[in-house]
Amino acid sequence: SPILSIKNEYLQATFHPDTGFLRTIEVLDRKLTLAVSQAFFWYNASTGDKQSDQASGAYIFRPSQAKPIPVSHWAQTQLVKTALVQEVHQNFSAWCSQVVRLYPGQRHLELEWTVGPIPVGDKWGKEVISRFDTPLKTLGVFYTDSNGREILERRRDYRPSWDLNQTEPVAGNYYPVNSRIYITDGKMQLTVLTDRSQGGSSLRDGSLELMVHRRLLKDDGRGVGEALLESGSGVWVRGRHLVLLDTAHEAAVGHRLLAEKELLAPQVVLAPGRGSSYHHK
């Protein structure tokens, strides 16, 4: 089948014809192309094991295995193309979908994900992530803006101030992401801006992941005394990831200005009736 793509004057995103997943991002005016595969996965929450009886819970993230399970191996896609917006709607499963969106004049790709209610009928707690896989040689390093203060370098299985004995290969490499996470090979940089605080990591070179939703069946024994389990059928969450691809040299300008616009976004108020037009002066 023909390759699905969306494009404006700055960006082109193409999707894999077999899987429907995002395949490449191309920055046209900077002549940058990066193979980016993005999909949703879930970690099976630990309920305790031989090493430790620690369960995953409200305070603790502890998956039972390091490899996450794909929500789906392919997504059903639909394309909406108009002069004002181009969108690829991806349906991964009954509880996971996404819209990949490009507006004219926009230098970033907008991924609006909808996840939930997470099914737990199989008695497995699930911690759902959105993962971006690229061929970037990142040498175990990624960056997050933890605590909203400054971008900090994070190195896999490493702490700058002590010799780390890594006992949790996934959770031990997760860091808070307040507004952005990025990976770079020194030439190209892939940045993802979040619309809320999330956990994030880069567990393999060229890979970047953000946790978008979780639903657990066991209390972690850290004081809350309740499993992180919504009553009834559970809740769904909708959020946005803004994806920027740029040269490592130019990237900071782009993600800083976009983050300002995202975190202090224009507010919309409506008034019924015709009213009179307002002139700035």
Binding site for another protein (CB under 8 A): 1, 4, 18-20, 58-59, 73-85, 87, 89, 91, 103-105, 197, 222-226, 228, 230-231, 238, 260-261, 264-280
**C-beta of 222 vs 249, nearer to another protein:** 222
**Distance separating alpha carbons of residues 182 and 126, to the nearest angstrom:** 25
**C-beta of 67 vs 261, nearer to another protein:** 261
**C-beta of 88 vs 188, nearer to another protein:** 88
Please state the length of the chain.
Answer: 281
| DSSP-derived 3-state class of residue 124 | coil
**C-beta of 74 vs 158, nearer to another protein:** 74
- Residue whose token pair is 């996971």: 96
CB of 194 to another protein, least distance (A): 13
**C-beta of 84 vs 163, nearer to another protein:** 84
Q: Both ends of the chain: CA-CA distance in Å?
A: 54
CB of 267 to another protein, least distance (A): 5
CB of 13 to another protein, least distance (A): 16
Which residues, including other chains, have CB under 8 Å from residue 271's CB and lie 6 or more apart? none
**C-beta of 218 vs 238, nearer to another protein:** 238
| DSSP-derived 3-state class of residue 228 | coil
Measured in whole angstroms, how far is the alpha carbon of residue 68 from the centre of its chain?
15
**Distance separating alpha carbons of residues 201 and 207, to the nearest angstrom:** 8
- Which is nearest to 38 in space by CA: 26, 24, 21? 21
CB of 257 to another protein, least distance (A): 9
Do 112 and 238 meet the contact criterion of CB atoms below 8 Å apart? Answer: yes
CB of 205 to another protein, least distance (A): 26
**Distance separating alpha carbons of residues 251 and 247, to the nearest angstrom:** 6
CB of 245 to another protein, least distance (A): 20
